[in-house]
Chains A and B, each alone.
Chain A
Amino acid sequence: MSHYEASIREPLILGDKSYHDITEDIAKPIEGKANKNWHMAFYISLAAMLWGFGCIFYTVGTGIGVWGLNKNIGWAWDITNFVWWVGIGHAGTLISAVLLLFRQKWRMAINRSAEAMTIFAVFQAGLFPIIHMGRPWNAYWVLPIPNQFGSLWVNFNSPLLWDVFAISTYLSVSLVFWWTGLLPDFAMIRDRAVKPFQKKIYSLLSFGWSGRAKDWQRFEEVSLVLAGLATPLVLSVHTIVSMDFATSINPGWHSTIFPPYFVAGAIFSGFAMVQTLLGIMRKVTNMEDYITRMHIEYMNIVIILTGGIVAVAYATEFFIAWYTGSPYENYTYLSVGAATGPYSWAFWSLMIFNIMIPQLLWIKKFRRSFIVSFIISIAINIGMWFERFDIIAIVLSKGHLPSTWGRFEPTFVDVGIFIGTIGFFFVLFLLYARTFPVIAQAEVKTILKSSGEFYKKRSEQGIPTKPAINVAGIKVKIDKSDKKDIE
């Protein structure tokens, strides 16, 4: 029987739902009015975003000097934020691609939003490499395009250039993956839409999707192949980001375990951010029936796993720094020097937020609690920010030559830009939550019978999922124009 699933598995869709109910639920937030929480959240984010843009204009107009950087510490909050956002941008594609390959049905409720988050996060990330330049108006010089100087090309040896390719590929592929998945759902909205303007918009967005059998066949194939491509891609992105550090020669950066450890960290922070967002979204778009404790728990399990990997990586780094016995390794971001030095506060925040707090998730009660996992997810977001800050600021503050040891103190501009990107991110996400089908309804419908609470109950009682056919209630309609042919 096609729709059978072990009854011990908890349902992923709660309540007595028909296909049409799902349609209704998904369409409601788009067709309905926004509630007060949404408005409040939106305007706060908007204010933050505008403030951030102000700071960016100030920087570009005056010079990077308005940040707290100096001759010894050339990066700090800028690249910290960049890596942080890129990391967050990992969960989405991972959920929709890797979990699809592993045929994890629970992904369907969350992949849409996770991917949206990915794309919006990568937007934020993409900002920083551009605005952190001394001359951002020349940013296009990092593209391998012909120019007035003839043979003046980019440097393919540079990890920063690898970043350019990795980030742009990742962003565009995620976007396409996401959009293709959206087509049938946009079509659904389009066909329900009553307001002509709405209908216009959504028929434009849906690219005229009609849902032919052949389209679906291709659709599934494309999703599968894209997933197959996106999986190594998502791993490559943070690998390459980590190479910004790993291929350099600074003690504490020059470390071969960076790629796997960064990827784990990225998934760690990405899932944490998904938790945070779902915690909010369940409420603002009342999707409680689709985002269940089950989903939260599954994700927490992933968080425990990746968090464990990160913890092991930290331990290794700390051990190696000690084990080399090289005086140049005394002050790497994971070392006695860091733990006792001027940046000990950053060191310990990292330890507490990233290593200690997540351990609470070993307790099932916490793992399945919405509020607890929401709080822990926030903690992890903070912890992961500190990880990147420590890697960059602590390492740069203690260079090879003691005469170049320095410190970094952020200015209001540093802070403003960071807050601004957070605002920008939520502005995008909140708009998305009101205008996009936040759950891949077409996909969810395919698992309704197998994982829907209602159907599971029935199948336990041995009632088949296939409804009985009654020929009576059928209506037959024949065009007037063809009447004569029947005579």
Chain B
Amino acid sequence: MGSSKVIHAFYNDDEVLLDAVKTVKAAHHHIEEVFCPFPVHGLDKAMGLAPTRIAITAFMYGITGLSVAIWMTNYMMIQDWPQDIGGKPSFSWLENMPAFVPIMFELTVFFAAHLMVITFYMRSKIWPFKKAENPDPRTTDDHFLMEIHVHNNEEELTALLAKTGAVEINVVEKH
């Protein structure tokens, strides 16, 4: 069962890595994953990753926050228990609204920020007590790791990768 076998190519420079990714793609090999110690610009495009939609979720969360604020101020100050506070118009949310603007703003930001980050953590599977999945500790220091599935074509791949300037190439069984 060769499909479970992967090749790990290590690089120690972002620019070299970027070119390597391009060449591998050009050779029509599917790049399983690339692990980097820091963001490499253009890598996602080179790998052909779809752009993330997380910003859109943030916007929707923001809208939610705003509506919650409007509902809360209206329910608490106007509907449930309207009181005469400094003569302010507790009988009309609209007239009393200027006093609620800060609340509305803060809740918008609160919801957008927190829910977005939570979404990010969930999608990228990062949370407390989660086990790290980078195959080699160096990938958080100064090495970049390219992971490619092997279909009985180690030699070809090794040769190709060697050309691209990998500093180390391992073929390992992936569990």
Contact = CB atoms under 8 A, between A and B. Distances in A.
A45 B46 CA distance: 51
B16 A156 contact: no
B35 A210 contact: yes
Interface in B128-175: 128-134, 137-142, 152, 154-155, 158, 162-173
Interface string B56-98: 0010000000000000110011001100011010000000100
A224 B158 CA distance: 38
Contacts of A232: 105, 109
Contact of A19 (B37, B164, B170): B37
A204 interface: yes
Contacts of A3: 15
Interface in A234-262: 236, 240, 243
Contacts of A204: 128-129
A203 B131 contact: yes
Contact of A207 (B40, B54, B128, B137): B128
B109 A209 contact: no
A155 interface: yes
A476 B36 CA distance: 20
Given A212-B34, A216-B43, A217-B44, A165 B102 contact: yes
A213 B47 contact: yes
A281 B56 CA distance: 39
B3 interface: no
A479 B128 CA distance: 32
Nearest to A189: B140
Given A215-B124, A466-B16, A477-B169, A166 B106 contact: yes
A360 to B, nearest CB: 37
A190 B132 contact: yes
A209 B133 CA distance: 8
A161 B99 CA distance: 11
Given A155-B85, A442-B37, A23 B141 contact: yes
B163 A478 contact: no
A442 B171 contact: no
Contact of B141 (A153, A188, A471, A481): A188
Contact of A176 (B58, B103, B113): B113
Interface stretch (A74-82, A179-187, A297-305): A179-187
A260 B5 CA distance: 61
The winner among B12, B34, B80, B142 for most chain A CB atoms within 10 A is B142
A162 B103 contact: yes
B75 to A, nearest CB: 8
Given A166-B106, A172-B114, A190-B132, A153 B77 contact: yes
A371 interface: no
B167 A207 contact: no
A204 B128 CA distance: 6
B44 A214 contact: yes
Contacts of A486: 154-155
The winner among B34, B116, B140, B168 for most chain A CB atoms within 10 A is B140
Interface in A136-193: 144, 151-157, 161-162, 165-166, 169, 172-173, 176-177, 180, 183-184, 187-188, 190-192
B173 A225 contact: no
Contact of B109 (A217, A233, A467): A233
Given A172-B114, A213-B36, 16 more contacts: A157-B99, A162-B102, A162-B103, A192-B141, A206-B132, A210-B35, A212-B35, A213-B44, A214-B52, A216-B36, A216-B43, A218-B120, A219-B124, A226-B116, A443-B38, A478-B171
The 7 tightest CB contacts between A and B, nearest first, are: A208-B130, A469-B165, A191-B137, A19-B142, A153-B76, A151-B81, A162-B102
Interface of A: 2-3, 18-20, 23, 144, 151-157, 161-162, 165-166, 169, 172-173, 176-177, 180, 183-184, 187-188, 190-192, 203-204, 206-222, 224-226, 229-230, 232-233, 236, 240, 243, 441-443, 445-446, 465-467, 469, 471, 473-479, 481-482, 485-486
Interface of B: 2, 5, 12-13, 15-16, 33-44, 47, 49, 51-52, 54-55, 58, 72-73, 76-77, 80-81, 85-86, 88, 96, 99-100, 102-103, 105-107, 109-110, 112-114, 116-117, 120-121, 123-134, 137-142, 152, 154-155, 158, 162-173
14 contacts: A151-B81, A162-B103, A183-B126, A184-B140, A187-B134, A191-B141, A208-B130, A212-B33, A217-B49, A222-B54, A230-B113, A475-B169, A479-B5, A479-B170
